[in-house]
Amino acid sequence: MRSADDQRSAAWHAVAITCHERAAEAAEHALSEAGAIGLETRSLADGQIQAVGYFSSRPSETTLREALEESLRIHGCPPACIAEVHTEEIIARDWLAEWKRHWQPVRVGRFLIAPPWCETGDAPGQLIIHIEPGMAFGTGTHETTRLCLHAIERYFRGGTLLDIGTGTGVLAIAAAKLHPEAHIEACDIDPQAIEIARGNAQANGVAARIRFYVGTIDERTPSAACVVANLTADVIDPILPMLLDVSCEHLILSGILVAQTEAVLARLTELGATQREVMIEGEWVAIVV
């Protein structure tokens, strides 16, 4: 096992994606999906930013390219938004400690999402959720996560909740903290995400109240008072009839771009779901049915 001094002097690999600021989230998501241990974003001139991901070993060009192409597609950004992708080796820099010092908790309504090392205090009524950043999608910093957290706080009144595409488990953990007596189930098609989500639930003291499993919604899925699907519009569309069928009180849909809202609303109307609320933050939308 290496000593702390060895770790500080070891070689790390930084992948810097220079892009238009509208593609900042797409670049950050791509780096996270490619396995970055830490992320930081730097503002440049002329409306550009540089998203930097830090890796313990050099990521393959194929992995980076595929992650970036998929993330650009999900975020609705053309490839022309990317100006340059550059990889370099970093020696003798304790970048991880520096990155941790600058990480700030994210406050969303009653919820405060913070990394495990961050001092959060104990304000009355505040629900603290500790999530390790950079492990899986859903650390509270993305608009879709915040929209879902707002919707859960406003509409989930206890009973049962199903979180589809759980990622880090942050939404399921939030529901369990909001209503300790509730029964929560959470699924994801990525086994690694489920492993991470279980670990986060354990760290937050709610593991016994959440059933995590690898998979997604199908005809065998039991109904729930509240169903949350923070996915993408193209993933939501084919499963929307099943999502409506298993939702007893509220269905929370997110991962939808503003430009995709009318198409999703039209599809909901076709399926008879006419009572909706649209919540917007930045370029992203959550629809509560």
pLDDT tens per residue across span 241-250: 999 999 999 9
8-state DSSP, 180: T
Edge-first strand order for the sheet with 284-288 is 210-214, 183-188, 160-164, 224-230, 247-257, 284-288, 277-281
Domain boundary among 99, 114, 132: 99
User: Which tokens hold the place of 127?
Assistant: 């629900």
Q: Are residues 164 and 282 in the same domain?
A: yes
For residue 67, count CB atoms less than 10 angstroms from its CB and return exposed for 0-12, middle for 13-18, buried for 19 or more.
Answer: buried
Of 83, 99, 115, which marks where a domain is finished?
99
Q: Which amino acid is at 149?
A: L
Residue keyed to tokens 């707002």: 150
Asked whether residue 180 is domain-assigned, the answer is yes
DSSP string spanning 19-32?
EEGGGHHHHHHHHH
Q: Nearest CA to 67 among 104, 105, 27, 18?
A: 27
What is the Cα 271 distance to its own chain's centre? 28
Residues 6+ apart with CB under 8 A from 72: 23, 26, 30, 78, 79, 81, 82
Q: Is the same domain home to 44 and 178? A: no
The reply to whether 145 and 280 lie within a common domain is: yes
Whether 48 and 144 map to the same domain: the answer is: no
Q: How many structural domains does the chain have?
A: 2
| Predicted pLDDT of residue 9 | 46
User: Tell me, what amino acid is at 4?
Assistant: A
- How would residue 45 be classed by pLDDT, with cut points 50, 70 and 90? confident
104 assigned to some structural domain: no
| Integer Cα distance of 264 and 22 in angstroms | 22
Residue 5's pLDDT is: 43
The residue among 70, 235, 234, 71 whose CA lies nearest residue 164 is 235
Residue 109 placed within a domain: no
Q: What is the pTM of this model?
A: 0.73
Enter the tokens of residue 257: 């771009």
CATH number at residue 76: 3.30.70.260
**Residue 256 pLDDT exceeds 50:** yes
- Could you tell me if 62 and 154 lie in one domain? no
Residues 73 and 13 in one domain: yes
Across 91-97, average pLDDT? 60
CATH number at residue 256: 3.40.50.150
Segments forming the whole domain that contains residue 263 = 140-288
Q: How far apart are CA 193 and CA 135, in angstroms?
A: 8
Is 116 part of any domain? no
Whether 53 is in a domain gets the answer yes
